[in-house]
């Protein structure tokens, strides 16, 4: 269905195995590259603007690739937001535990910012999903952190892992967005790109 992209080199600029797997499911041929990017969010940005800012910052690291007009770079950043507070990736088990305790028994929002960029065009957009957790026990949180080590995930959890199976009671929006790549919205944007 994305025939207009068949002569293009799609580059997913992400280390995330989940994003790679989700993009594969769209049937798109692509390569993967990654770089270390500063994920510091400037003060005062609301979460939607912050997600776009981070995706665009990541895309900026690949400007050399964009000299070739056949290349299209896809970058993404996923944020977990609760009560206006952005939860990033935990740096240690204690921080992961605090994050999961904060999410326990409440609704939070998952926002993914995506940037599509080639030599002539840059297009950025977001997807948002509301997620509800049941009240999590300390034993459940400890078990999850010890066995799944979710330190590469915003908010210290993966919806597709054990904590998602036992703890998430409801979502509104894209499940795949919570995994890190809103593939339906990405597909629609690629159709227009």
Whether 77 is catalytic:
yes
Residue 79 forms beta bridges with which residues? 111
| 110 three-class SS | strand
Report the alpha-carbon distance of residue 55 to residue 49 in Å, rounded. Answer: 10
Residue 47: both structure tokens together: 């979460």
Residue 175: both structure tokens together: 């499940």
Report the alpha-carbon distance of residue 160 to residue 25 in Å, rounded. Answer: 16
Kindly name the residue from 38, 46, 68, 77 that is annotated as catalytic: 77
Catalytic positions: 77
């Amino acid at each position: 269905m994305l025939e207009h992209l068949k002569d293009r080199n799609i580059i997913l600029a992400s280390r995330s195995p989940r994003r790679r797997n989700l993009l594969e499911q769209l049937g798109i041929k692509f390569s993967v590259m990654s770089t270390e990017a500063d994920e510091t969010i400037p003060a005062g940005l609301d979460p939607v603007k912050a997600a776009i800012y981070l995706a665009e910052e990541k895309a900026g690291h690949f400007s050399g690739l964009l000299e070739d007009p056949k290349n299209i770079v896809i970058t993404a950043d996923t944020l977990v937001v609760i009560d206006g507070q952005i939860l990033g990736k935990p740096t240690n088990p204690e921080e992961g535990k605090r994050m999961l305790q904060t999410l326990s028994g409440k609704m939070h929002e998952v926002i993914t910012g995506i940037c599509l960029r080639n030599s002539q065009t840059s297009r950025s957009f977001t997807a948002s999903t509301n997620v509800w957790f049941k009240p999590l026990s300390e034993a459940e949180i400890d078990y999850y952190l010890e066995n799944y080590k979710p330190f590469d995930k915003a908010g210290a959890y993966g919806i597709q892992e054990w904590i998602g199976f036992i703890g998430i009671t409801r979502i509104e929006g894209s499940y795949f967005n919570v995994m890190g790549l809103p593939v339906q919205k990405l597909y629609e944007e690629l159709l227009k790109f």
